[in-house]
Amino acid sequence: MSSAHYQALEPQTSDEDNEDIERRSHHPRCTATASAPSSMVRKGGVGRRRCLLPLVGGALCFIAFCYLTLSGETRSALGLGGSTEDSEEESHHGLDSIHFRPLNESLHICSENLEDHRQFLQDKPRSDYGQLPVIYFVTPTYPRREQIPELTRLAHTLLHIPRLHWLVADDQEKCNNFIDTLLNRFGIPFTHLMSPMPSKFRNEKPAPRGVANRRAALQYLRQHNLTNGVLYFGDDDNTYDLQLFSEIRNTQRVSMFPVGLIADYGVSGPVVRKGKVVAFLDSWVAGRRWPVDMAGFAVNLEYMAQYPYVNMPYKPGYEEDLFLRSIGLKMDMIEPRGNNCTDILVWHTQTKSKKLGMIRLESKYLDDRSNLGALLLNLKLMGVASTTENEGRNALISKNGKEKPHSIILS
Ligand code: UDP
Ligand code: MN
């Protein structure tokens, strides 16, 4: 998701996850109170009530108490001033994650094939790669005219990559058999899961695109106790250099790298000095501590497993930032990749979207006298085009440069 396309939003209050984050990011001192286990997350809970205490004297005492009693690590994790930059870099288990709830998504597995049916990868037998950590490549996708072509193109990149498990996380209500068949054909180990965006978000502008399904994928990893390997969020429309996969495969905690074609600058990525990430270049900051694109980082699963409240809230534009906060990221943990973040190994390409094609043909001609019946049925199943009996102009069928009546060619 390109966060850079969105304007900064007022925090939403309808969603509980967002609310937690709102509290954390705008009332850091209150979160210190709310971090007591019993008052962690509930709406109108102890933390909030304490926050609202109008007693200025009490608040001042509390702030002083925070400063005197919290460790430097805790203070910096809460953004409570002091020499934040240095102390922040020392901390490895910030309290960021503490304000999230464990994920509890509607998650349905449509189909799954955990066996790798590919014999050779990059001209070597598959067995040559047996020891490599697995890359869990999470692709949120949703039904529209371009879905099958996007997944096909992406599959042809992933076909080159050994030890990869493709989590295709579908934002739709029903399993699409066409996609199952397609995924099976590629021979890449995959899980096709379905997790639609909750209806309350559908009409929001901007809507949280690809969040429900990424959350479902996170939950899948957690439920299957997959703590070995590397997680990468790869949208269905981006363009991936094969080198990217070698770069992220040995991620220890969180690796980062620039993404091309992001918003106004045409790029978003870390600023690196002396081999360390020190800041970020991105044309839309909007208060984000981690102003990076979803395609600009990878996460080690063993590292992520230490954070039970891993989350990606339904807050458009802030998904990356809040996800990375939920896994306690600190600047000094970031591993720059791609020649110290000088190469572009992933591009935020976008496919021009068009509405469903409509082809006017009488159904009596859509039988096996020609290919058109089967072809148009396939296109319908793929969500690309539909037929109609009576809307618009008759479908153009031509021969020798001349339009012919359907009856002549198809009867
Ligand atoms: N996506 C989704 N549901 C939606 C819209 C988008 O699952 O309603 C997926 C989409 O297939 C893509 C990712 O979320 O993999 C990001 O969406 P998109 O590419 O449209 O946004 P961009 O990042 O290009 O702005
Ligand atoms: Mn995209």
Ligand 1 atom 2: the closest Cα is on which residue? 210
* 280: number of Cβ within 10 Å: 19
Measure 262 CA to ligand 2 centroid, in angstroms.
10
How far does residue 197's CA lie from ligand 2's centre (Å)?
Answer: 17
Residue 217: which residues within 8 A CB-CB, separation 6 or more? 136, 138, 140, 167, 169, 193
Which of helix, strand or coil describes residue 321? helix
Structure confidence at residue 60 (pLDDT): 58
DSSP tag of 127: G
**Residue listed under structure tokens 């080159």:** 160
**Beta bridge mates, 177:** none
* Index of the ligand 1 atom closest to the CA of residue 2: 23
Both tokens of residue 359?
């082809």
- What whole-number distance in Å separates Cα of residue 154 and Cα of residue 370? 32
Cβ of 144 less than 6 Å from ligand 1: no
Give yes or no for residue 235 CB within 6 A of ligand 1.
yes
Is 392 in a helix, a strand, or coil?
A: coil
> Crossing angle of helices 147-158/177-186, nearest 10°?
20
Centroid of ligand 1 to alpha carbon of 147 (angstroms): 10
Cβ 311 vs Cβ 103: under 8 Å:
yes
Probe target for ligand 1 pocket from 195, 209, 318, 350, with the most ligand atoms within 8 Å of CB: 209
Which residue has its alpha carbon closest to ligand 1 atom 11? 141
Ligand 1 atom with minimal separation from the 5 CA: 25
CA of 164 relative to ligand 1 center, distance in Å: 22
- CA 140 / ligand 2 centre spacing (Å): 10
Which one is catalytic: 19, 150, 247, 320?
Answer: 320
Mutate-to-test residue for ligand 1 from 7, 142, 294, 349, highest number of ligand atoms within 8 A of CB = 142
Amino acid at residue number 383: G
Sorted by sequence, the CB contacts under 8 Å of residue 287 that are 6+ apart come out as 8, 25
Q: Is the CB of 140 under 6 A from ligand 1?
A: yes
pLDDT value of residue 28: 30
Check: CB of residue 393 under 8 Å from CB of residue 360: yes
> Quick one: which ligand is closest to 140's CA?
1
Scan for tokens 């910030």, then name that residue: 94
Instruction: Answer whether 0.75 is exceeded by the pTM.
Output: yes
Q: Which ligand is nearest to the CA of 215?
A: 1
The reply to whether ligand 1 has any atom less than 6 angstroms from the CB of 214 is no
Question: Helix, strand, coil proportions of the chain in percent (round to 5)?
Answer: 35, 20, 45
- Torsion angle of the four alpha carbons 185, 190, 196, 201, in this order, in degrees rounded to the nearest 10: -120
Instruction: Please indicate whether residue 97, judged by its CB atom, sits closer than 6 Å to ligand 1.
Output: no
Give, for ligand 1, the residue of 235, 264, 351 to mutate: max count of ligand atoms closer than 8 Å to Cβ. 235
Locate CATH 3.90.550.10 in the chain. Answer: 1-354
Q: Residue 107's pLDDT is what?
A: 84
CATH 3.40.50.300: does it fit domain 1-354? no
Give the model's pLDDT for residue 102: 77
Q: Which two tokens stand for residue 223?
A: 């439920």
Listed residue (362, 370, 292, 360) closest to 331, CA to CA: 292
14 C-beta closer than 6 A to ligand 1:
no
Q: What is the pLDDT of residue 93?
A: 39
| Catalytic residue flag (residue 320) | yes
State whether the beta carbon of 319 lies less than 6 angstroms from ligand 1: no
From first to last of the 411 residues of the chain, give the pLDDT tens digit: 444 444 333 333 334 444 444 333 333 333 333 333 332 223 333 334 444 445 555 555 455 544 444 433 333 333 333 334 444 433 333 444 445 677 888 789 999 999 999 999 999 999 999 999 999 999 999 999 999 999 999 999 999 999 999 999 999 999 999 999 999 999 999 999 999 999 999 999 999 999 999 999 999 999 999 999 999 999 999 999 999 999 999 999 999 999 999 999 999 999 999 999 999 999 999 999 999 999 999 999 999 999 999 999 999 999 999 999 999 999 999 999 999 999 999 999 999 999 999 999 999 999 999 999 999 999 999 999 999 999 999 999 999 999 999 999 999
